[in-house]
Chains A and B, each alone.
Chain A
Amino acid sequence: MSGGGSGKIDEMESKKALAEQAAISLQRYGEVFVPLENSYIQSTLNQFGDQAYQGSMGRAATQATGVYEAGIGDMQNAAVMSRGLDPSMGAFQEESAALRTAQARGVGQAMSDAGLTNTDQAYQGLANIVKMGQGLATDTMAGQMDLAQNQADRVSAQAQQDFGASSSLRNLAGTVTGAGAGTAFGLRNNYGG
């Protein structure tokens, strides 16, 4: 320490070195990570846009339609081959109409759920950005993937339940998907299904 008459104390050299190190680290953060963060922020905001909704709801509709079409095809084959029904018979038409109604409801639910999930993801992304701003850790990607998987599971479970009511398919094993029990679709009661 050097004194003299000024009364001021010499700052330690290490403090200046630490400040320089912090400045260099921040500059690198600005060069490397700030553009990535800005890109993430813009992507998250874009998720509120029509294109994001159309994409996720369209994919859900395709996925759910594929599940139901395969099951209805199996039902019609089973009705003709095993039960001796033909397409002009009332029993065949009633069962087809019932499953088509289930399909319309199931696909509508899947699309609606995909739209709601997209909104959830957008808000979750905003919450993550706020955490980033507060210097908190984020679990961004893990959260998004979990939400997407939940959506697929719900569609499969709902379809499995719908086909479980079909007389022609009741004893046909492994018709739709390998997903869990029909009660897994948490929204079922709310949809009046």
Chain B
Amino acid sequence: MFRDYLDQLYQSGNPSFQNVQDFFFPNPDSAYRGAPTYAGGTSNPYAQINPYQYSGMDPKENPGDKLFADLIRAQTQDYMTRFAPVENFLASEITATGTKALEGDLQRTRDAVATSSANVQGTMNRDAARYGVDAQQLDNNAMTSALVGGLNATRLRDSDRRLALLSGMGGITSKAQQVGR
């Protein structure tokens, strides 16, 4: 398939071989990042609050106000512990052209086209053996076109994803600004 073209390029000594090779078949190890670990904690972040901590306090000392202040501090701490790391992660995923998932998505697209080609070719070979005829080959041009088109579509999806995240987070940041005022 497309490997044949790369082999020809390599054998011809074409200097652009390495660029083409890196674009279509980079090192797959760097593409699979795995799931991030969430360190938000499992305990009840509000368990330490005692609703009646200030119940015996002199009304002149504003016990209700103090309790409200405790609640606001606990909510802020909860937000900083559980949600701020996720916000930081999401913001760090956005790149100049898309997201950091692009490399993995490109690799998965390559794998998908290669896997489906190999599987279907295997089916064709078994069919041919069953009928006692020579096996037909998949259309290399069509499969190369599918691979290139798939990679282009993957890049477009990633670019769209970036815009969606930026616009979504724009709404969120304006909300946060209002809260901060």
Contacts and interface: CB of A to CB of B under 8 A. Distances in A.
Say whether A and B bind each other.
Answer: yes
Contacts of A53: 108
Q: Tell me if A's interface is mostly helix, strand, loop or mixed.
A: helix
Contacts of B70: 23
Interface in B99-145: 99, 101, 104-105, 108-109, 112-117, 119-121, 123-124, 127, 131-133, 136-139, 142-143, 145
Interface stretch (A11-19, A145-153, A166-174, A175-183): A11-19
Interface residues on B, range: 35 or more
Contact of A104 (B79, B105, B120, B136): B120
Contact of A98 (B54, B59, B104, B139): B139
Contacts of A70: none
Contact of B35 (A45, A136, A193): A45
Interface string B40-66: 111011110111101100011111110
Interface in A50-91: 50, 52-53, 57, 61, 65, 87-88
A165 interface: no
A187 B146 CA distance: 11
A192 B86 contact: no
A41 B63 contact: no
| The 6 nearest A-B residue pairs measured at CB | A133-B83, A49-B35, A192-B145, A16-B64, A111-B112, A192-B149
Interface of B: 32-38, 40-42, 44-47, 49-52, 54-55, 59-65, 67-68, 70-71, 74-75, 78-79, 82-84, 86-87, 89-90, 93, 99, 101, 104-105, 108-109, 112-117, 119-121, 123-124, 127, 131-133, 136-139, 142-143, 145-150, 152-154, 156-157, 161, 164-165, 168-169, 172, 175-176, 179
